[in-house]
Chain A
Amino acid sequence: MSTLSTAPTAHPGTDRTLRRRRIRQTWGQPWLYLPLAGALLLMIAPFLWMLSGSFKPEADIRRVPPVLIPTAPTTANYGELFSTLDFTSMFANSVIVALAVTAGNLIFCSMLGYALAKLEFRGQRAVFLLVMGTLMIPGLVTFVPLYVLVSNMQLTGSLVGLILPFLAGPFGVFLMRQFISTLPDELIDAARVDGCRELAIFARIILPLTKPALATLGIITFLGSWNNFLWPLVVAQNESQYTLPVGLALASSGQSFTRFGILLAGAMVVLLPVMIVFLLFQRQFVAGIATTGLK
């Protein structure tokens, strides 16, 4: 945008143009706030409805026409969620699966990403093309054989079956390789001259520098795993393995379907952890996309 000192003005020095300039400098285009606020309201209306509904007593939920704010707010929905639906163990399962999948992707993808970006080896191009090519393959192509594979490995009865197939995804390799290619080669050459061993270069020099990319990949993987529901829905055999989305999906299609208050409270419980993760790390997340997604 223009600055006071450099931009030519139609009426230099008059008070009104100066004031208008100052408003534009601090606020941008003032008229834009109204449509943007309207758009924001449309975007978050479902979340406000979710929040309000989760505190509504059952009588409020069935009211026609509906009420926007609960007449007698109650936490009964949340209480029932944890006492009858065993949301505590589902919550723990979701955390375990998401952390394991995230750790796997951070480790394995950064290792291969470094090898592809900075090391020379025969077959490098073939490995790169092979891994990237699978980014276009629909999830359902691998779904059926994966199901046959995992059930024949007797893994459908444990959390391992929910973790193992997702430990190493192609997207992470793409992201890490893109980021590591932007690091200067001189860094690695200097370490080699100093007698640093190849694997130590990766662990001690490269890895600490990839923190922004690791943060981005970590958040994306954690969110994806936390929200993943089709695979655990199909694979999880008993209630002790259910993750939060599975529990919520089954509750909403079962007989408790009409208890909307409990379901909305469940939706809040599914959303809150990822919202907190996102709010805490959104700066790194956006910066990570800026440096990795576009080179």
Chain B
Amino acid sequence: MSTKTLPGWSDTHEQSTAGPQRSADRRYSGLRSTARGRQARAAWILAAPFLALFAAFMLLPVVWSLLMSLTDTKSADLRTPLNVSFTGLDTYVRLFQDDQFFTALRNTGVFVLVALPLTLAAGLAAAVALDRGIRRFRAVFRVGFYLPVITSIVAVAVVWKTLLEPRAGLVNLVLGWLGIDGPAWLADTRFALPVMIVMAVWRNLGTVMIIMLAGLQSVPQSLMEAAELDGAGPWQRFWRVTFPLLRPALLLTAVTTGIGYLQFFDEPFVMTGGGPLDSTLSATLYAYNQFGNGNYDMASAASYVIFVLIVALTVLQFRVLRDKD
């Protein structure tokens, strides 16, 4: 403030001179605070409906779930959910003593480690090919690659089951043309999980592609032309110019796809029910089966373990992929 430089307005004389300044301040901030008050009131009116629904159907269940995992809640307590006894970490101890849960965690781990990089690479490749490679029929390819994303998993399951039929299915028919005797995909412990991985990549690469396409369009054309004039080849232009600029988009898709993949559930639920011999049992499917068996405590505990894993993976991805500056 310019007044501060005037003699008599300095800090040491504050006691004697602050009077008029203060009252002016108060009047000013009074005006501001009614404006602020109006704004805050409007904000809370706008926020209230969402927050009411959010509190009832999100926050309450999240806390309730944690409490359930610390009690012995079963389906018999459905009508009297408060009439249960506190058992501390006992449910978690039982969870980690269950070999089936470890099988489920291992399957989920294999699924994420293989499917996540494959999905990101396939989606990125599709986006680059559509944005930089071709100029005609872009919309046709875009819609075709995105179609699995918008398709109900139940419809997908019906089709893939008939595709993978050992004798009457299309997959083994095509393999037969190549002289390969295709296996009974979903009934074979060696092939069931890889089938789930292929299905997941097929279903999700369209999402990655769309976000990457948006990212690619934000790369300035002038930058690419400058790099070309400087003698950079297409390969160099991609890795040195485009790829670093895509980092935020890549981070976004890696995080969201990772969160989805750790909750790997749909494919085994509709295709195999977790079999054969638990070879496609995922952690989320394990939790759901516990719910189905009435063990609400175990279901909640397993869900919370998955939640912790999701947070860990998200933090890790932010560390690895964020801008290094």
Contacts and interface: CB of A to CB of B under 8 A. Distances in A.
B119 to A, nearest CB: 13
B50 A108 contact: yes
Contacts of B162: 49, 53, 61, 260, 263-264
B65 A142 contact: yes
A29 B68 CA distance: 58
A108 B284 contact: no
Task: Please classify how large the interface on chain A is, using the bins under 10, 10 to 19, 20 to 34, 35 or more.
Answer: 35 or more
Contacts of A1: 224
Interface string B36-52: 10111111111101110
A111 B64 CA distance: 27
A121 to B, nearest CB: 4
Given A46-B160, A141-B65, A252-B154, A294 B214 contact: yes
A36 B151 CA distance: 21
Given A227-B152, A289-B211, A46 B64 contact: no
A111 B46 contact: yes
Contacts of A32: 129, 133-134
A149 B61 contact: yes
A119 B42 contact: yes
Given A136-B259, A227-B153, A294-B214, A43 B147 contact: yes
A282 interface: yes
Interface in A188-210: 192, 198-199, 202
Nearest to B205: A43
Interface in A257-295: 260, 263-264, 266-268, 270-271, 274-275, 278-279, 282, 286, 289-290, 293-294
A112 B58 contact: no
B152 A115 contact: no
Interface string A51-65: 001000000011111
A44 B270 contact: no
Interface string A127-152: 10011001111111111111111011
A138 B49 contact: no
A64 B49 CA distance: 58
Contacts of A293: 211, 214, 249, 252
Contacts of A45: 163, 170
B307 A264 contact: no
Contact of B252 (A8, A114, A294): A294
Interface centre among A39, A137, A286 (most CB of B within 10 A): A137
A168 B53 contact: yes
8 contacts: A44-B147, A64-B168, A68-B170, A120-B43, A121-B44, A146-B57, A289-B214, A293-B211
Given A119-B43, A142-B65, A282-B142, 10 more contacts: A33-B134, A43-B144, A45-B170, A50-B159, A109-B50, A145-B68, A149-B60, A248-B152, A270-B154, A271-B152
Interface of B: 35-36, 38-47, 49-51, 53-54, 56-62, 64-65, 68, 78-79, 81, 126, 129-130, 132-137, 139-148, 150-163, 165, 167-170, 173, 176, 202, 210-211, 213-215, 217-218, 224-225, 228-229, 248-249, 252, 259, 262-263, 265, 269-270, 284, 287-288, 291, 296, 299-300, 303-304, 306-307, 310-311, 314
Interface of A: 1-2, 6-8, 25-29, 32-33, 36, 39-40, 43-47, 49-50, 53, 61-66, 68, 104, 107-109, 111-112, 114-116, 119-122, 124, 127, 130-131, 134-149, 151-152, 164-168, 170, 173, 192, 198-199, 202, 223, 226-227, 229-230, 244-245, 248-249, 252, 260, 263-264, 266-268, 270-271, 274-275, 278-279, 282, 286, 289-290, 293-294
